Amino acid sequence: MKTYLVTGASRGIGKEIVRALAEAGHGVIATARSAQALRELATAYPQNVVAADADLATDSGCAAMARFGPLDGVAHAAGLLINKPFHKLTDEDWQTMWEVNVMSAVRLARHLSPVFNPGAHVVLIGSMGGVQGSSKYPGLSAYSATKGALSVLTESLATEWGARGISVNCLALGAVQTDMLAEAFPGYKAPVSAERMGAHIAHFLSTAGDLHNGKILQVALNNP
Residue 70, preceding peptide bond in cis (omega within 30° of 0):
yes
- At 174-197, the pLDDT tens digits run 888 888 777 777 877 777 899 999
Going by C-alpha positions, the residue among 4, 224, 9 that lies closest to residue 126 is 224
Q: Are 178 and 10 in contact (CB under 8 A)?
A: no
How many separate domains does the chain show?
1
Q: What is the number of other CB atoms lying within 10 angstroms of the CB of residue 113?
A: 17
Sign of the CA dihedral with 106 first, then 108, 109, and 113 last: positive
pLDDT of residue 224: 54
Least confident stretch, 122-131, 169-178, 202-211: 169-178
Distance separating alpha carbons of residues 121 and 117, to the nearest angstrom: 9
In a domain, 23, yes or no: yes
pLDDT of residue 223: 63
In a domain, 224, yes or no: no
Domain of 86: which CATH number? 3.40.50.720
Q: Are 169 and 154 in contact (CB under 8 A)?
A: yes
Residue 173, domain extent: 3-219
* 145 pLDDT higher than 60: yes
In a domain, 61, yes or no: yes
In percent, the amount of the chain with pLDDT more than 70 equals 99
Instruction: Give this prediction's pTM.
Output: 0.94
